[in-house]
Structure 1
Amino acid sequence: MVFDRVSVPVAVCDVYGAVQVANPAMAAECGTTPGRLRGRDVLELFRPQEATQVERIAEALRLRHRSRYQVSVRWQAPDGAQRYGELTADPVSDTVEDTPALLVMLRVLAEREAHEQRPPQVAPIEARILALLASGTTTAQAARETDLTVDGVNYHLRRLSSRWNAANRTELVARAYTLGVLAPGVWPPTPASWEGSE
């Protein structure tokens, strides 16, 4: 009963991601009722921004690692708006030997309209560094490409990590895509159109 009163969208899924129970806030994000979410695949409801995030989580769960996992996702809200956010999955079970269920929480970050504007506090050089990072360049290569020193690149990455509360560079890149700083579906990665003059 307490589960239903939680305002944060929450669901309990089996280890494969099938929803076992969801609260009304989670169902509202999908435009349905909690009972209709039962058995649905959470990653079909909320599409991952990066398939590699899901593959790493699946492998970790197979190895019985019990960490918190985050996946950047997007989905269509009931009003038709494209929304962006993060799913956080925590493995939970009564004993270490039991196959865990996943406690899944959704954090809504923004809708598409917000992504069409310039994200606050992202300088063109920071967007360029993020694009280089997303393409797999090293810090030294990014420094050469941007005419900065290695320390200069690291300075910008530390500032962005602090601003976005990103634990590592992979999460930093994921957030850059989620926030609309990097253009989706483009290779090599490039800053979104508002950064085109860089």
Structure 2
Amino acid sequence: MDVDPEELFGNADVPAWRNRALLVFDRVPIPAAVCRTDGIVLLANPAMAAEWQTTPGRLRGRQVLELFHPRSVEQVQRIVEAVRHGHRSRYPVLVHWSGPDGRERHGELTADTVSDTPEAPLWLLVLLRVLGTRDTPEEPTRPRSEKVTAMERAILALAAGGATTAQIARAVDLTVDGVSYHITRLSRRWGVANRTALVARAYVLGVLDPGVWPPTAEPARTEGHRPDAGQP
């Protein structure tokens, strides 16, 4: 239920009411801060300061989005636009940050627009919900090795070693047109424009071993394959 503090306590009691509110704010276990609409921290509680192993006073004047990095810039832009137009609502933002201990954390910032009166300027009441902690930096995910046939792998290995189409054809017992067919089909599958890019893509996808030179071709499989065919 919405209660006007002046109606509840009388004008003389409004400062006392605010002092009580600040006392509650400090004791709330959830990390919280009051910010200007541009994100500058005006007030932070001890739980919020603990995320940075500092005191609330040292967070005052900091930009909240410099402390917590949003996952979606577009989401922040929508919030800024809504606040600029005076919309009063609750806005969640997924964020991540690195604490002073070096561990990466992620969570959700919820910004509620608040003010003393409906006509007064808006502030942002920011609450942080910590969702998880990662002890070590996340390693980039390596793409899984692309599934290719033994013939495709042999052609790629020979191409990576600098063999011409005719040399590849002799090595794998195909016609020149058959080799060109395989190269064209792989190029379309991987979305590359030329043979150089095709070879590079094969290394990125783990089809060819970057630690082996010259590239080694696996023995070609003959099951279900006609050496003189341009089609599989």
1:27 aligns with 2:40: no
* Aligned equivalent of 1:37: 59
CA shift in 2, pair 1:114/1:70, >3 Å: farther
- Alpha-carbon offset, residue 78 of structure 1: 2.4
SS of structure 1 residue aligned to 2:120 = coil
- Alpha-carbon offset, residue 32 of structure 1: 1.2
Distance 1:114 1:65 in 2: 40
Distance 1:15 1:99 in 2: 9
1:68 aligns with 2:100: no
Q: Aligned partner of 1:90: which letter? A: D
* Aligned equivalent of 2:77: 55
Distance 2:137 2:79 in 1: 27
Q: Aligned partner of 1:68: which letter? A: R
Distance 1:20 1:10 in 2: 11
Q: Aligned partner of 2:111: which letter? A: A
- Alpha-carbon offset, residue 112 of structure 1: 2.3
Distance 2:99 2:87 in 1: 32
Distance 2:137 2:90 in 1: 27
- Alpha-carbon offset, residue 80 of structure 1: 0.9
Q: Aligned to 1:92, which of 114, 124, 129?
A: 114
* Runs of at least 5 residues in structure 2 that lack an aligned partner in the other structure: 1-22, 139-232
Q: Aligned partner of 1:42: which letter? A: V
- Alpha-carbon offset, residue 113 of structure 1: 4.6
* Runs of at least 5 residues in structure 1 that lack an aligned partner in the other structure: 117-198
Distance 2:77 2:134 in 1: 26
Distance 1:83 1:28 in 2: 13
Aligned partners of 1:15 and 1:99 also within 8 Å: no
In the TM superposition, 1:1-198 aligns within 5 A as 1-113=23-135
CA shift in 2, pair 1:28/1:114, >3 Å: same
- Alpha-carbon offset, residue 4 of structure 1: 1.2
Distance 2:119 2:106 in 1: 35
**Identity level (%):** 63
Q: Which has the higher contact order (CA 8 A, sep 6+)?
A: 1
Aligned partners of 1:3 and 1:23 also within 8 Å: yes
Aligned partners of 2:103 and 2:136 also within 8 Å: no
Aligned partners of 2:32 and 2:47 also within 8 Å: yes
CA shift in 2, pair 1:30/1:89, >3 Å: same
- Alpha-carbon offset, residue 115 of structure 1: 9.7
CA shift in 2, pair 1:20/1:74, >3 Å: same
Q: How many residues align?
A: 117
- Runs ≥4 residues deviating over 6 A: none
Distance 1:91 1:68 in 2: 7
Distance 2:60 2:137 in 1: 31
